[in-house]
Structure 1
Amino acid sequence: MSSNLRIRQIPRWLSIVFTVAVIANFVAMGLAESPLRIVYMLLPPLFLLMFTGLYIFAIPYAAKWRRSKA
């Protein structure tokens, strides 16, 4: 599998993890007062989504910058 395909699949799987964490958070809030670990469970996939999304956003600009330098 090429690295480009792998890089693009990471945010897809992270978004699934994040969606499940959000659903678990809403279920926990509906049942009772949710413990902090369920609330904080949303943060790691959210930050990873942010960093991978920024990386994928920057790839075309970096390639364009490299071409202009050469």
Structure 2
Amino acid sequence: MNWTNGIRQFHRWVSIVFTLTVIANFVAMAQPEPPTWVAFLPLLPLALLLFTGLYLFALPYTAKWRGARRS
């Protein structure tokens, strides 16, 4: 498995974790006195999704750039 496939797989698993934390956030906010830290729970997976998503977004453009540079 190469580096890109590893990041792609990591991105998929983090998206599942993010979805679960958002669902937990909605459930907690339905309670009369939700703890404050629950609102911040999805932020770490969201930041990881941002960085891995930007990397995956840039891959086709860097491949074109590297291909043009070799020619």
The TM-score, its normalising length taken from structure 2, stands at: 0.88
Q: Which is helix-richer, 1 or 2?
A: 1
Percent sequence identity over aligned pairs: 56
**Is 1:50 the equivalent of 2:53?**
no
Q: Which moved more, 1:59-68 or 1:26-35?
A: 26-35
Partners of 1:32 and 1:23 lie apart in 2 by 17
Unaligned runs of 5+ in 1: none
Partners of 1:48 and 1:34 lie apart in 2 by 25
Partners of 2:55 and 2:32 lie apart in 1 by 38
Could you give the per-residue CA deviations for residues 5-30 of structure 1, whole angstroms, max 9, x where no partner exists? 21111111011100110111111111
**Is 1:7 the equivalent of 2:7?**
yes
8 Å contact 1:25–1:34 — kept in the other structure?
no
The TM-score, its normalising length taken from structure 1, stands at: 0.90
1:16 aligned partner? 16
Deviation at 1:4, TM superposition (A): 2.2
Alignment length (residue pairs): 70
| Aligned residues: CA RMSD | 1.1
Partners of 1:54 and 1:48 lie apart in 2 by 10
Unaligned runs of 5+ in 2: none
2:67 aligned partner? 67
